[in-house]
Structure formats: structure tokens, C-alpha cells
Structure 1
Amino acid sequence: MRRTGKILLRIGLVLTTWSVVAAQVPGDRSGRAPIPLTLKQAVDMALAPDGNVRLRLAADAVQIAESRASQARSGLLPNFDATLVQQNLTRNLAAFGIGFSVPLLGSMFPDVVGPFNVFDARTTGSQTVFDLSAIRRFSAARSGVDTAESEEKSAQDVVAGEVTRHYLTAWQARSRVETVRASVELATALLDLAEDQKRAGTGTGIEVTRARVQLANERQRLLVAQNQYRAAELRLLKAIGLKLTDRVEITELFTHEPVNIDLNQAVAKALETRADLKAQRQREQTARLSHSAVKWERLPSLVAFGDYGTIGSAIDSAVPTRTYGVMMRLPIFDGGRRDARRAEARIQMDQERTKTADLEAQIEMEVRIAFDNLQSADEQIRVSVEGVELAQGELAQARRRYQAGVTTSLEVTDAQTRLERAQDNQIAAMFNFQVAKTDLALAMGSAREAVR
């Protein structure tokens, strides 16, 4: 009876501490201590310059856009070249229609002259005075830079949302490991009790067998839960840019904090702050400027040019010469190429306008779905808390009845199963609530601020 009392005490302790979050996590096979990691730390690591791959690619896209803007700006800036030429040449004057005789000497002017030397050191330059099409092309390129910067901010929001989801998935998997581990401990204690009662003559062999089956099932669930936790951990490591051989310890304690926000305010904020919508509006502006650039190619352009240098048969005999002037270029006919490009640019502009309207509708839909999910998850938490409390009470009553000998272990096993289901529901409800908060913040364009 003393042994039975100790076993019952173990069962009572397991039931008392069932709902408390355990400090241990699945075993670390690498031999290295896990890295304590909060949600904010995970997001900050992913947003670091050497963090998530998506952000590095977005930063590269900004640099590419800036390079294209510099190329477009070069058409509006002065261009200078320097040349230094030393050559020896001959010329066939007859090929240029130059040929005549010298009457007094009675001879013909030679058709071929040379060889002779020419030395020329010269600087040439040009400056666009007016080219509205080039100005529009530069404006479109600058708009492309703004687009890339907005896309980079959008990528940061997306990465913050992805990391938060992976972190929550790892937290959910770890919580299930802890819950199943507690179930294993309870099943072990019930098996000890069944064996003790059989030895005392108050139990049967079927009770022992039933307890062993329950323990085997719980151990199986523990192995599955541990494997799911490791898979979630690997996805989290990949998302934040750490080595897959590292281990992390989920230290964030999530609580139920209701979110008070009006749906219409959430939609308005999303349409105002979403970085991807800003990027799309910039793409629409870029397409509009590109269409304008093609349209204004029909206008004349004005270019100033000039050169200055020394030329002669040798360096010591070279003399300064120069040229300067203004050239106006007026497009007349190019075979219809310009009209075709203008039609193409107009279609692209209409496409971007359609994409903008579609994205605005998509954003409003995402906000509404996230808002509904948040309300549903909030109610799920309230129901799951009540379910766990009821299941814990049922298991405690079943344990007392089994201890008193008025029922079999089957009632305890059924109560234990219902408690496990209730605890899984509570974990899932908290996970759904936190995911819904993340989705709403992401839909509103404030995923990074929500984490911080």
C-alpha cells in the first residue's frame, strides 16, 4: 500500500503540473547548447544584411535600379572624349574628283599624294540642350529606383511575417512535445499503479495490458512530436539565415492579448502603408513616364557640340584648331517603329493600372480574412481554456474513482485521451491566434513594427 501511495502521489504531481510549460526541449544530438531565441531576435537576425536571402536579392535590385537611373541620367550630362592620333597615310585624290593639269609646267597634278604624317591631339564634347524624351526616360528610371526601394521594404515585411510563422510553428511543435512528454509520465505512473494493484490482488492482467498499450501509444506520439519539432526548427533556421546544424531554444511566452482595432481603419491603413502597393503604384508611374518618353520622341532635340586640339605633320609643327556648333535633330519617319513602341508602352501602362486596382482589392480581402480569423481565434482560445479545465477535472475524478476501485483503468485512459485532445486544442487555438495577429499585421503593412 505504501508503494501504491507513492504511485498515486506521482500521478497527482503530473496532473498538477500538466498545464505548466516545461523548461526542456527535445534532446540536442549535436552536443552544442541550443541558442536562446525570442521572436524579436529571430526577426532581427533575418532582417540583418547577411540574413534572409530574399532581402539580399531585394537590396541587389535597388542597386541595379540605381545603376539604370545613372545610365539614363548620362544622356542629359556633358560627354567629353580625348583623342591622340599619329598616322602616316596616302590619299588618292582622283577618287574624290580632284585632278587637273598645270598649264605652265605642262604636267598633270598627281592623283596619289603622300605618304605624309598627321599628328592630332584633340578634345571633343557634346551637351544635350533640350531633349524632352531623354528627360522623361530619366524620370522613369528614377521612379524605378523608388519601386525597388518599396519592394525592398515589402520584402522586409514578408520576411518578418514568414519568420514569425516559422517561429510560431516551432513554438507549437515544442509545446506539443512538452504535452506528450507529460502524457508519457502519466501513462508510466498509471502502469506502475496497475502492476502494483495486480500484485496486491485488487487488479487484473487486462488493466496492466491496457496501461502498457497506453504507454506505448504515448511514446509513439512523443517520437512523432519530437520529429515535427526538429523539422519546424530547421525551417526556422533556414528563414533567419543560420546554419542548419545549429540548435535554438524557443523562449517566447505567448499570451492571449485581445487586439482592439476597427476593420475599416485596418483597411484604410493597409491601403496607405503597404509597401508592395507603393511599389505597384511606382511601377504604374514608371510605365506612365515611359509612355511619355516614347510619345515625346517626336519633338526636336537640341545638342551643342565642339572640339579643340592641335593638328600638324608633327608635334612641333602642330597648330590649334577648333570646332563648335549647335545641332537640331527633327525625327521625320522611322518606318513606324516609334508608333509601335508608343502602342506597346500604352498597353504596359494600362496593365500596370489594372494590376494596381487588383492589388488594392487583394489587400482589402487579406485584411478582412485576417480580421475574421483573429476574431475566430480569440473565441477559440476562450473555448479551449474551458475545455482543458473540464478535461483536467474529469481526469482527476477518474483517477480518484480508479483509486477507490469503483471503476477500471479504461475510464482513466479515456479521460486522459480527452485531456490530450483538449490541450492540443488549446495549443492550436493560441497558435491560430498568434498567426492571425501576424497575418493582420502583414496585411496592414506593419509586420516589422508588430514584432518590435
Structure 2
Amino acid sequence: MHERSRRARSCRHLARSTSSRRTSDSQRVTASQNDLEKARLQLARVIGLPVGQPFVVSAQLPNVPVPDMTVEEALAQAYKDRPDYLAAQERVKAAEATRAAAASERLPSVHVNADVGALGLKPSDTVRTYTLAGSLNIPIFQGGRTQGRIAQADADLQQRRAEAEDMRAEIYYDVRTAFLDLQATGEELQVATRSRELANQELMQARDRFAAGIANTIEVVQAQQSVTAAEEQYIDAMLGYDVAKAVLARSLGDAEAAVQRILGPGTP
């Protein structure tokens, strides 16, 4: 009787433990899915995709060489395609138009009116009439108000030009930084690729020596650990290189076209 009671308690404890693990696993799955969606949002923002545009993340990006362009060519493309800089330029043009309109208020204006008609009691007795009038408007008593509008328009124009110059400097910084990061991560990827190849060669040699009886299992295990470390280093380097390419694509302005050109077709 005592043994059956103990087994029953053990079964109940096992059932509770299994249920607890399932609940914990479900929570981890939910948290992982939430982290995945956040990562997708961050990726879309990094590469500059329009808000809400759907995309599919590939399991492995193709190894696409970076387009052969100089920093000057990249800057020219960014100045031509970056929507934030184009918007800043449009604001400058609008401010220039406002300033020109304010300045034109103090200039004299000429108005000419002409009229052609018919005068008479009957259609058969009508006489054609002509009227021509002209006027000259000289703004004499609006000097202060017009000058105030011009001063305000000048201030707005200077602000818009300063904003455009700041945006141009920011684009220069973004592109230059993206090129430097791409160069650094590319060199890191080359080193990691070579290290992975050497680690695999050392593992093969260790296995050959073990098979020949001139090495022990410790040497093989150490070689396997070196391969694992080299593989992790390669994955990190590849990730950094792909991120650098994505940042460069974003800095060029036309996000979708630049991403497909730099990261490969079909991405995202």
C-alpha cells in the first residue's frame, strides 16, 4: 500500500513537472516570436524600406560582390536619391519662392483693362464701342509691412538652406562611415574565412594522426573545438559584413534598389 502511494505521488510530481516545462517552453516560444518580429522591424528600418512593406527574410544571403564604386560616386548617388535630402532641397526652393513673392510686393504694378461691346436700342442700330483703361499702382505706404515680410522670408530661407547643408553633411558622414565599416568588416571576413580553412585542415590532420596511432583523442577534441570557434567567428564576420552592406544600401537612398544591388536579387 505504501509503495503504491509513493508511486502515485511520483507520477503526480512528474506530471506537474512536465506541465511546468511545457508552460515554460511555450513562454519561450512566444518571447522568441516577439523578438523575431522586433528584429524584422529593425531590419526594415535599417535598410530603409517603406513602413508596412512586407518582405521575406532569406535563410542565407547570396555572396554578392559590392558594386565597384568610389566614395565620390556613392555620394553623388546619395545626393540624387536620398528622399530626406530631396525634401530639404524642395523646402529651400519653397522658401526662395516665398522670399521672391515678398520682395515683389514693393515693386510698382501695371494693370491694363480692355473691353469691346455694342451700343444701341436695336440690333440693327448698334454701334461698336471700345474701352481701354490702364492703371499704375505704386506701393508708397506699405514699406514697413513689406520690409517685415522680406525679413521674415530671408530668415526662413537661411534656416532652410542651413537645414539642407546639415543634411548634406549628414549624408557625407553616412556614406563615408558605411564605406569604412564595409572595408573593415570585409577584411575581418577574409581573416575569418582563412582561419576556418586552417582549422578544418588541422582537424583533418589530427584525425589522420589519430588513425595512424601517433596522436590521442585529446588532440582531436582540441582540433574540433578550434573548428567550432573558427566557425562561430566566421558567422559573426559574415553577419557584420552583411550588416555593413545593408547600411551602405540605406545610405545611398533608393533602399529597395540598393539592397537588391548590394545584397543580391530577391532580398528582402
Q: TM-score range by the shorter chain?
A: 0.5 to 0.7
From 241, 249, 253, give the equivalent of 2:52: 241
1:366 to 174, 177, 184: 174
> TM-score normalised to the size of structure 2?
0.59
Structure 1 counterpart of 2:190: 382
- What is the match of residue 353 of structure 1? 161
- Shift of residue 378, structure 1, vs aligned partner: 2.4
Residue equivalent to 2:235: 427
Q: How does 1:54-69 map to 2 (within 5 A)?
A: none
Instruction: Report SS of the residue matched to 2:105.
Output: helix
Label 1:278 to 1:265 Cα distance change in 2 as closer, same or farther (>3 A).
same
CA contact (8 A) 1:266 1:367 kept: yes
The CA distance in 2 between the partners of 1:237 and 1:419, in whole Å, is: 34
Q: Helix, strand or coil for the counterpart of 1:250?
A: coil
The more displaced of 325-334 and 269-278 is 325-334
Residue 240 of structure 2 corresponds to residue 436 of structure 1: no
**2:206–2:215 contact (8 Å) kept in structure 1:** no
CA deviations over 1:350-385 (Å, ceiling 9, x no partner): 122222223223222322222222222222222211
Aligned to 2:20: none
The residue number in structure 2 matching 1:105 is: none
1:231 alignment partner, one of 29, 35, 52: 35
**Helix, strand or coil at the partner of 1:298:** coil
- For structure 2, the residue ranges without an aligned partner over 5 or more in a row are 1-24, 45-50, 114-132
Moved more, 233-242 or 357-366: 233-242
* Structure 2 CA distance for partners of 1:237 and 1:435, relative to 1, 3 Å: closer
Structure number with the higher helix fraction is 2
How big is the shift at 1:291? 1.4
| Distance in 2 (alpha carbons) for counterparts of 1:228 and 1:372 | 33
Question: TM-score if structure 1 supplies the norm length?
Answer: 0.37
**Residue number in structure 2 paired with 1:342:** 150
Distance 1:445 1:249 in 2: 21
8 Å Cα contact 2:102/2:149 also seen in 1: yes
Match of 2:71 in 1: 263
Q: For 1:285-324, what aligned pairs fall within 5 Å after superposition? A: 285-299=93-107
Gaps of at least 5 residues in structure 1 are: 1-27, 31-222, 305-324
The 8 Å contact of residues 106 and 143 in structure 2, kept in 1 or not, is answered as no
Report the counterpart of residue 124 of structure 2 in structure 1: none
**1:139-182 deviation per Cα after TM superposition (whole angstroms, max 9, x unaligned):** xxxxxxxxxxxxxxxxxxxxxxxxxxxxxxxxxxxxxxxxxxxx
Root-mean-square deviation over aligned CA pairs? 4.2
Q: Percent identity?
A: 34
Q: Aligned pairs, how many? A: 207
